[in-house]
Structure 1
Amino acid sequence: MSRVAEKIKEARMKAKLTEKELAKKCGLTANYIIQIESGKRVVNEKLAESILNVLGEKLDFMSMADVAEKEVQATPEKKNKAETIKKEDFYEIKPTEQWADALANIIKKFPIYDVKTNKVVGNKELPIIGKKVEGYNWDKLLFVQASDNDMESLRIKKEDVIMVYLTSEIQNNSIYLFEIENKKMIRQLRKESNNKVVISLGNKNNEPMVTELNKIKIIGKCVEVEVDLDKK
């Protein structure tokens, strides 16, 4: 069962609603809700948000990452259906003179999540060119805001906005967003041959932490940092 399916089921039970009652509130069928909660049906980001809103909950960025991963793994038929729904997340704009030659007049609004609290702290609007942002598929991107200065030695400071590419693969000495002991953090990772992972702040004065590979959940690789010069 996916994280988003678990979240929907837990929220429904917390609200003391049956599958049929929830389905009625969402304009869906009870069987559809049952399939979502059991993980038999892939639910897209917009529908997941809609269902959780009815239940008084929000889609956090971990659940959002899970939705994106499941949609990529869906069958072509299901994937095409999800992409059709996601088109509603886009809106047309009239390019300014500065953008006219570079952009395809379609932009996507990405929520920005605080790493530690999961709360949405802002939004980032970016042009989608050939279904990509900065060379990455837009539906595999996540934006987070650094919660502290722990990674200052690697030029990531508090409130910097970081673009994360959703992946579970580790490329040694790259910076990753991951979860360990129910806490999310950004650190430099190095995978060892004995299924160990070295977790580092990238600072020679701080001793790296070593843990088992199966004790961490990789959310994605940090591929770009937006620096606010006014805060430096």
Structure 2
Amino acid sequence: MSRAGEKLKNIREQLGLSQKQLAKKLGVAESFINEVEMGRKILNESFMNKLSKLAGKDINDISMSIEEDADMEVADVKPSIMKTHKVSSSNKDLPEINDVWSNALSSVLKTVPMYKYDLKQTVGSRQLPVVSNKIEGHSVDKVLFLEIEEDDMIGFRMAKGDIAFAHLTHEAPNNAICLVEYNSERAIRQIKKLDSNKVLLISNKGSIRTETAYTKDINVIAVLDRVEIKL
């Protein structure tokens, strides 16, 4: 049990409440209270403020556990982090404190790199929430952003300069839009399976264009999940 979990349990017992009763009063799941007391979940500022109000005293000295919190909203964590940075801005130990909070935040947010098609050098990054050690259902080490380099998929509402979220894989579902390598070139194409040996590579630069290729000659690099359209 962590220090935070032990304190939470002591306060709950002082109030004469079961985990279920405390969870109901604070508007969270009973399982969350249990996980906090076991030292597996985060106590953020919003939660501590609610607990302080219920207990009738300030308990914001409770230490925070640095574990992934898939059940709490990321937005609830941000105020606590912002407050810590503000208070510590004039402190000579700021770099060390920032490192601590960076480690804490890495349990909740992940910096996802952005690449061009060659995947050799990052051209930017975005932060996305981590839930159950996954980002949007994919392993955290398999996700990336791609900068669309051509207008050859404009018919699919993907224009040059748009940003696509994708996940690395060598297996593409039928009709998926993918980053592929074919004839020593990389491009975004929709893949339609014809049979076990052949696929149709579809592009749309104002009009649909198709090219038949053998599966063995196509290297699927990533599947695109969504696109951020540049207005």
1:23-42 correspondence runs (5 A): none
Q: Does the aligned pair in 2 maintain the 1:116–1:147 contact within 8 Å?
A: no
Structure 2: unaligned runs, 5 residues or longer: 1-67, 79-103
Kindly state the Cα deviation for residue 146 of structure 1 after the two structures are TM-superposed.
Answer: 0.4
- Equivalent of residue 192 in structure 2, options 190, 193, 205: 190
Aligned partner of residue 201 in structure 1, secondary structure:
strand
Alignment deviations for residues 103-125 of structure 1 (CA, whole Å, 9 cap, x no partner): x9422112211125843211111
Q: Does the aligned pair in 1 maintain the 2:151–2:205 contact within 8 Å?
A: no
Kindly state the Cα deviation for residue 170 of structure 1 after the two structures are TM-superposed.
Answer: 2.5
Aligned partner of residue 225 in structure 1, secondary structure:
strand
Q: Does the aligned pair in 1 maintain the 2:155–2:206 contact within 8 Å?
A: no
- Residue number in structure 1 paired with 2:162: 160
State the alpha-carbon separation in 1 of the partners of residues 148 and 157 from structure 2: 11
State the alpha-carbon separation in 1 of the partners of residues 173 and 153 from structure 2: 18
Kindly state the Cα deviation for residue 98 of structure 1 after the two structures are TM-superposed.
Answer: 7.8
1:46-57 correspondence runs (5 A): none
Whether 1:170 and 2:172 are equivalent positions in the alignment is yes
- Residue number in structure 2 paired with 1:99: 75
CA 1:148/1:126 → structure 2, altered by over 3 Å: closer, same or farther?
same
Count of residues paired in the alignment: 134
Kindly state the Cα deviation for residue 188 of structure 1 after the two structures are TM-superposed.
Answer: 0.5
1:104-183 correspondence runs (5 A): 105=105, 106-115=108-117, 118-183=120-185
Percent of matched pairs sharing the same residue? 31
RMSD: 2.9
Kindly state the Cα deviation for residue 193 of structure 1 after the two structures are TM-superposed.
Answer: 1.2
Kindly state the Cα deviation for residue 221 of structure 1 after the two structures are TM-superposed.
Answer: 1.1
State the alpha-carbon separation in 1 of the partners of residues 153 and 224 from structure 2: 12
Q: Does the aligned pair in 2 maintain the 1:116–1:183 contact within 8 Å?
A: no
Larger Rg: 2
Structure 1: unaligned runs, 5 residues or longer: 1-91
Q: Does the aligned pair in 1 maintain the 2:174–2:193 contact within 8 Å?
A: yes
TM-score, with structure 1 as normaliser? 0.51
